Structure 1
Amino acid sequence: MKIVVCVKQVPDTKGGVKFNPDGTLDRAAMLTIMNPDDKAGLEAALRLKDQYGAEVTVLTMGLPKAEEVLREAMAMGADKGILVTDRVLGGADTWATSQTLAGAIRNLDYDLIITGRQAID
């Protein structure tokens, strides 16, 4: 069984929230974490891996810094990590993000896709 898990790097609001002068989040000044709902999905995939010998691929979209969540996922037991990154995707809304991730998934061999319910940001 081949499982794809979508994860997102999000600001760690426990570390304090910082804003730019224009009112947007100052993501560069904030610590980041793996989105909790996505982490729960990854944990479910890893249980399937243990039970059935599944292969788990983690997919994220973001800045090169988003590699941090891929490394965390692989440290937890994921087999592969894929980062979709491009300057043209900066500031992508949910529709553009979903289309980009769907396009990446179409190029993968999978039996199951797991996503979180929503992101905390």
Structure 2
Amino acid sequence: MARPPDFMLCLREALAASWDKRTAYLEVERMGNPALGQCYPTSRAVQHYYPETEIIKGKVWTGTTLDVHFWNGLRIGDDWYHIDLSWQQFPAGSVIQEFAIVERRELNDSESTMQRCALLLKRVDDYLNARSHGA
């Protein structure tokens, strides 16, 4: 389904408005960093709205730690375009060390992960619906 040109910006806004500790990995939260721990449910939400994307799992060097991170990729021809709507959780200067496409059949989510993803998706849907109806 074709999306309006500004839909990705609306989706990013909806995601940021929908994050909290209940959607974060291990309910992690840090003042001033609402994207912390939100990467996996965010990548699943992006894939819901853009099913042609794949989920990518990688490692990010922050300058002090090597963190696991998830984002989306869109393949067009031989090129991959990376879509990361939770990158802001990392400090400036962070670098991706390695990454791989996660095969859809390998997405064996735990019950708690499925609940976090479902909660985020419902909040995003509600936000987008309210926005489209002028609420």
Please indicate, yes or no, whether the TM-score normalized by the shorter chain is above 0.5.
no
The interval holding the TM-score normalised by the smaller chain is 0.3 to 0.5
The two structures have a TM-score, normalised by structure 2, of 0.31
The two structures have a TM-score, normalised by structure 1, of 0.33
